[in-house]
Amino acid sequence: MGAKVIALEANPVNFDALARDASLAAAGIELFNYAAWNRDEEITFNVIDATARDVAWRKMISSIRERAPDTNYASQPVRVRGVRLDSFLTDVLAGPAHAIALWIDVEGAAYEVLEGIAGIRDRVCLVHVEVETRAFWKGQRLWPDIDALMRQFGFTPIARRPGDEQFDVVFVNDRRLERSRAVVSGNTMLAWARLRAGLARNRLRSLLGTHG
């Protein structure tokens, strides 16, 4: 069976660019100009100015939250529709899905977005989420709070990317973890081995380039 892929993009500039990308439609990806949140309501979204240097990465740091005072980036507030993932996905998926996997990269709003999966947490098998250990955005909740919330929901962190202040974490639903612990452990070790091999390959290429 195939997978249904749904993407939410709150930044209207990024959304327009994605909507013009024919490859997304060809792949069957459904795109919505919404912001994942913990309430179904219209909210303010802060679009970071991407006209200066480093345009590519500046496009990716817009957020529901304003940047912290020590990060001086100009932004423009726009109004967008905010949705809870449990109510939104229940409507969009129409029928009961066998499993739901989430990739959450929401620039300082991860805690609130995760609050919004409460109604579908039993159907969610895996969550990949970006977290922070210091505040890059005003009022954001940090990694310890997110870890506590997910454990309360019945999820266990099984893997994370390197990093001290910002990194990705993979959570697995405890029910699925108990049923397939060996498979999950094996896949995690394989992913780790591939990561280390990739880092070593990149380091080797760097050295060859330096001495070439």
Q: What is the pLDDT of residues 5-27, one digit of tens each?
A: 999 999 998 899 899 999 988 99
Same domain? 128 vs 200: no
**Alpha-helix residue ranges (DSSP H) falling in 59-129:** 85-93, 110-115
- Does residue 106 belong to any structural domain of this protein? yes
The CATH number linked to 19 is 3.40.50
- Does residue 1 belong to any structural domain of this protein? no
- Are residues 9 and 31 in contact, defined by beta-carbon separation less than 8 angstroms? yes
For the chain, how many structural domains are there in total? 2
Banded model confidence at residue 74, pLDDT cuts 50, 70, 90: confident
Q: Is 201 helix (H, G, I), strand (E, B) or coil?
A: helix
Residue 101: C-alpha distances to residues 5, 13, 37, 38, 165 (Å):
10, 26, 17, 18, 25
Q: What is the mean pLDDT of residues 140-162?
A: 96
Same domain? 108 vs 203: no
Residue 135 has a pLDDT of: 94
Same domain? 161 vs 189: no
Residue 209 has a pLDDT of: 53
**Alpha-helix residue ranges (DSSP H) falling in 35-157:** 55-58, 85-93, 110-115, 143-153
Q: State what percent of residues in the chain have pLDDT above 70.
A: 75
pTM (2 d.p.): 0.80
Same domain? 71 vs 108: yes
Q: State what percent of residues in the chain have pLDDT above 90.
A: 62
User: What is the extent of the structural domain holding 188?
Assistant: 180-212
The amino acid sitting at 80 is V
